[in-house]
Amino acid sequence: MASTGITTFPADIPNWNNLSVIHQNTLPPRASFLPYHNEQDALSHEISKAQVQSLSGTWKFKLANSPFEAPEDFQLPEHDVSDWAPIQVPGMWQLQGHGKGPQYTNVIFPFPVDPPNVPFDNNETGSYVRTFTVPESFRGQQQRLRFEGVDSAFNVWVNGKHVGYSQGARNPSEFDISNVVDVNGENTLAVQVYQWCDGSYIEDQDQWWLSGIFRDVALVAFPKVHIQDFHIQTLLDDKYQDAVLSVDVELSSSAKVQLNLRDNDNGIVASASESSDGSRVEFRVPIKNPHKWTAETPYLYHLSLSVDDCSIASYVGFRKLELRDGLFLVNGKRIVFRGVNRHEHHPSSGRTVPLEFLEKDLLLMKSHNINAIRTSHQPSDPRLYDLADKLGLWIMDEADVECHGFSHVDDTALDEEQKKLSFEEKKALTYGRAARWTSDNPAWEESYVDRAKQLVMRDKNHASVIMWSLGNEAFYGCNFQKMYDWIKSYDQTRLVHYEGDTHAQTVDVYSRMYPQISWIIDFATKEEKWEKPLILCEFVHAMGNGPGAIKEYIDAFYKYPRLQGGFVWEWANHGLKTKAATGEEFYGYGGDFGDTPNDGNFVMDGLLFSDHTPTPGLIEYKKAIEPVQVIGGSYNEVEIINRYDFATLDHLQGKWSIVGDRYEELGGDISITEGIQPGQTAKLAIPFTAIDSVPAGAVLQVTFTLKESTLWAEAGHEIAWGQIELKPAASLESLTPPSSTCPTLTQKLPTLLSISSASSAWEFNLVTGSLSSWKKGKSEIIHTAPVMDFYRAQTDNDLPQDGAEWEEKHLEQTKEHTRKVSWGTSGTYVTVTVEKRIAPPVLEWSVDTTTTYTFGETS
């Protein structure tokens, strides 16, 4: 008899489509650290001395269009992968010749919107295989497999046995493989990566959709008795002088822990030891007047923790963060973010960013006076934070949460009248509705809170991380309250940011994107007392020939205490290196890879070009945010203001020179008064007296450079410069000798005036109302008549703002139409006055103009 049962496909909900499964068999999230055999090795921070074996490198790879079409049993050691393609790990498979290629969207989802479901049949799946052996020194220890980042979800097997599953693309995942690894022989490591999972709905950041094992993979060996995790806090007293070093240590089992703190000269500052009966040890070590860490003075101590034959090390920066009297204070002082938003991007390898490239980015930031990074819009490569600690950069560390595409879904549902509303009015309508999908949906609570935990647990010990950010453009709902509550239950020392919480009902600061300068000034002045400051998480959009009005924003930040700076959108263009049909290499954007839907060149909106060389926008930003501003002066004195938050100007040297048209007085050194405090003005003497010899238009130029080399720049690097005008530039009128005789005026034709002098001749067309010829001797000076033009080519920032209106008004089609021309002589001059109407075809609007031309003996 035939079976009457019903079979379904798939038999079970796949993990990558199952909202209730985020991780399987992963170890609890922890701080980024490596175990060493002894304290000396740990303090070196050299990976080669750590109990770690890199599994990055060349793997075998096979791509399928769907998880259900991926090779069966590929994870088994006996499966033949000899004909599979080689692939580099870390890396993105789309940038190594596999799959449909890169796709760029800013807002919209690249798949049908049906959360938590993603497609079965259009979900590229990469199967990875490699072999490895366990180093002899690792035997007898706990073997951990650590992935620093896999986009977007993955299963992992060792020797054919399923180890676990994880998602949350830009967060690490760690597995204990001690029970499945063969410490004496060869092991087969198999990983299957899915392009889409339910988590993709909250990974909708403004960047390329790229997939794969994009950060490092490693085998890490921990002794049987080891440190599981540790949490550093530096508790400064109310005078910001003395401190308590708080270190909570989690152990694998009861043990005695030795703590040592060293200064930069390797001198012991403090030592302590504690024994535990359980798995936790708490240290509270008083430190007398430690050096304080700031982005301007990034002094780091060296902490070591040792238990039996396991030692770990970490840098420690002593600083105190607080919200007091409505201001964000570091070590008791208000700070101003002169920041940038930085995506993880490399023009050839996408989100896989080499350390040298990353380091170059941060050095470039420091050398251009940038003091802060927002890790838009996910946790960055863990190595960034080590560099930020050392170089001195404030970090707003952002969780891997964005679901901007839901707003587009609700935008399309607006009626015709609603679609005519302004952007802000439409946003007020749709953002509240869009939250229902995930952000204000309790079913997604665990997914959101998990991303907060992953962020905080990994980066909690970095001095540079001074603020957590809950995500970006994900509206506002109950799940952000849950994220905030969890963070505050674990870490009360840092402030929490989220721009989507418009009224700051949950988070600790107000935040906005791209407000007008008048709006932020009104916000800063409308209340005499306030509880929370304002930070612009995105401002002065740097796309195309932008950004604009930088100086005006920065001046407002320093004038109004409630405005504590912002982060330029964004650091660099995201062009991907590719080739045209001709073989010519170029940097591609959305649509250049056949990707649909796409958002075009909106990914090219940085202060750096795609090869990470500076645009003029970065040069302008450096000038606007320079920490020494010249605010006045004369030929023998300049007035400056110190715009550092903590530092005096004692580390700088000044120089002066006189610069003019074909003129330069080399000048010399400026004596900078010692101890000029942040916010303080000072007058500096300029040893120059020969003002009478200075030509018109000359300026006094002063520069401020580093006295000594730092980790980020050589001695002599220019920090700031300014100019004082000494004599006004000569005007055209002052350079023109007065006419002694009047030019000759004749009407050669009914429509043509002729004006001539001993050296020059002009012709004026009465029909067009324009100067049609100007000759000096026999040489024609102009090729075409000058015209009044009310249009210019639109910049990338114009297009979404005013482009449609310009086009609707036919601004590019305006033409001059002569209405009246009158002429005559006045003393030794001929004058021609033209009245015109400038207007486009089709429409009735116009601009009426009156232009007077004056002709003298020589000009």
785 neighbors 771 (Cβ within 8 angstroms): yes
Helices (H), 397-515: 405-411, 416-419, 423-434, 445-459, 478-490
Distance (Å, rounded) from C-alpha 290 to C-alpha 51?
A: 32
d(CA 553, CA 563): 10
3-class SS shares of the chain: helix, strand, coil, % to 5? 20, 35, 45
**Dihedral (C-alpha) 360, 365, 366, 371: value to the nearest 10 degrees?**
-140
Which tokens in the block code for residue 161? 């046995």
Are 657 and 721 spatial neighbours (Cβ–Cβ below 8 Å)? no
Give the count of beta carbons closer than 10 Å to the beta carbon of residue 668: 12
The CA distance from 477 to 577, in Å, is 39
Structure tokens at 423: 């952007």
- Known catalytic residue at 473: yes
Asked if residue 812 has a cis previous peptide bond (ω within 30° of 0), the answer is: no
SS3 call for 680:
coil
Q: Pick the closest to residue 337 from 345, 346, 347, 327 (CA basis).
A: 327
SS3 367: helix
Q: Given 473, 499, 570, 626, which residue is catalytic? A: 473
State how far Cα 118 lies from the chain centre: 29
Q: What six digits make up the tokens of 839?
A: 């207007």
Q: What is the DSSP string of 113-136?
A: --TT---SSS--EEEEEEEEE--G
Collapsing DSSP to helix, strand or coil, 465 comes out as strand
- Cis ω for the linkage preceding 54 (within 30 of 0): no
Give Cβ neighbours of residue 250 (< 8 Å, ≥ 6 apart): 227, 228, 229, 230, 279, 280
Phi, psi of 739 (to 5 degrees): -75, 135
One-letter amino acid of 637: E
Distances (CA, A) of 256 to 42, 179, 239, 306, 516: 18, 27, 34, 8, 58
In degrees, to the nearest 5, what angle opens at C-alpha 390 toward C-alphas 384 and 391?
85
**Closest CA relative to residue 174, chosen from 126, 220, 232:** 220
Give the pairing of strands 337-341 and 563-568.
parallel
CA distances from 153 to 16, 33, 349, 489, 564 (A): 7, 24, 19, 28, 38
Residue of 203, 398, 538, 570 marked active site: 538
Residues annotated as catalytic (active site), given as ranges:
473, 538
